[in-house]
Structure 1
Amino acid sequence: MSGLILDGVSAAYRDTTVLHEVDLTVARGELLVVLGPSGAGKSTVLRVVAGLEPVTAGRVLIAGRDVTDLRPGLRNVSMVFQSYALFPHLSVAENIAFGLEVRDTPRREARQRAHAAAETVGCAGLLDRRPGQLSGGERQRVALARALVREPDVFLLDEPLSNLDLSLRAEMRSELRALHDRIGATMVHVTHDQTEALVLADRIAVLRDGRVEQVGTPDEIWRTPASSFVARFVGSPAMNLLPADGVLRPTGDAPALPDEPLELGFRPEAVTLDAVDGAPATVDRVEVIGEDAYAYLTLATGHPVVARVPAARRPDRAAAVRVAVRWADAHLFHPATGHRFVP
């Protein structure tokens, strides 16, 4: 049984359509990450599932039930917000148990379940403290425990790691993935952070302007982007995109190409410098990041290219190099639509 289905869901804010006929299926026990830039409609997807925003078309099904017209309290979902939304005057234990107690769960049972949830996320030692006494990572754990204690059909996480510093975000990312694997919950996690999406997700749904651009595993999104938008958005630095009309001719067996303009895409790690038959280029600058270096180049045609090379073999600034990329590492897109070209 599917954990969550969005069947042709559209949603509008005043006179502006925010979601356009979104189709998404999340398997029971799956962790789906909804990825996209600001304004793509990511948070609206969560709010529609939670019942906080109405739909103008389509259906929302949770655990096999059509909940499209149900109010939020009847949908059996839990949501973790970016701001954590903890009550400052309540202890950690009271914050975790709050949702149970307002639903008339016996106090003793609510406290027992709150303690069990705190144990699961690693904050059982904080139960007597108040949110103001906690670090960002500790508050995040409390928010997760509060969502977990209700035993929902679907967990909704709205950029829950964005307020943490870089090192703590990486730590919590690993803990969140481990928590999912341990409890086997259905989760929908929203983020604009591509690294977070690639590390966390069983599958990724890339949104653009309220439409689903691509759904796939992290490997599929990375290796076979369905559009030039996905190719540019997922990857840092972004995938190189050039006209495929001889600006840079990849080596190896090329497919038969149609007589129409196409864009050639390839990631920085697919670039080889100093190839005998490569296209001439000049090094504009080099950024060293640990063992790797990114060389920012300009081809003789004026087109920019980024190459990832070992830091120990990085070229000098203003050096003349020759750039090559294999067809096996290249992608082709229709420039008018952005769609992937399939020969």
Structure 2
Amino acid sequence: MPVTETLRPDEAGLSRAADLLRAGELVAFPTETVYGLGGDARSDLAVARIYEAKGRPRFNPLIVHLPDVDAARVLGDFDQRAERLALAFWPGPLTLVLPLRPDTGLSPYVTAELPTVALRVPAHPVASALLRAFGGPLAAPSANPSGRVSPTRAAHVIEGLDGRIAGVVDGGACAVGVESTIIGLDGPAVLLRPGGVPAEAIEAVLGHPLQQGGSTVKPTAPGQLASHYAPGAAVRLTASRPEPGEVWIGFGPGCEDADLSLSATGDLVEAAANLFHLLREADRLAGPDGRIAIAPIPEAGLGRAINDRLRRAAAPRP
């Protein structure tokens, strides 16, 4: 089996990562949300390798990561709304789905042959440095087998993809911990996936409420499949107490005897940062055919993103 290299986030490591990417290989790297699985977004072969490594359905489009808004404008058609959101939240955990400009050179596999493209400028310094070292757009879904728990540490990437990708740049734990918020702007502004930027903050910049959108059958953006982010164990939500045999993940006061806690104080930022790591830990504790119970999370701010991931983790498996 090929060996997946673990690379340091220094000049030598980033240079090696960029060389691998130029050769059409796949390299995972940290962003402020989760680790992304990077491949040259202009290469059919590299993008096909992303789908193959993840076992990802090819009708599920990918997010293109870029170093700055100028690079994003080359690929997507920015209107005034997109410009305002980019100014307010880039670099950061926001993805914009925009009309695809003609003759961008992107592989059609990136967009799943849709007339739109998902664009993001990540804030993580290692991601930014790698994008500049590579010198081009990187398609980068989460660096994990499709449908499984997203990776927030390099060890999570190795656990799921060792031997299936060329390398991973180890930049430590991801600070935000849930994927980017996705906003569709090829028509009315639509919330396609809640994430690291609360919908309320986006609505404040736009000056009006977001519509709700997305399809679990034919996604227009990543993270819309009904079953996603799933551990091996069965998941039960809004559990104020565990049932016998369940591993209980608590949140806030009143869960002092929980096996694990997203945040003992009820801090949604802390809970988001801990979510995927603790789902993995609970899965390990539960063991084969185990069960996980999760305390209620408020449906506001980052809680919307956390609950979105948890509902998909608990959904019936295909």
TM-score (structure 2 length as normaliser) = 0.27
Specify which structure has the bigger relative contact order, considering alpha-carbon pairs within 8 angstroms and separated by 6 or more residues.
2
Higher strand share: 1
Structure exhibiting the larger radius of gyration computed from Cα positions: 1
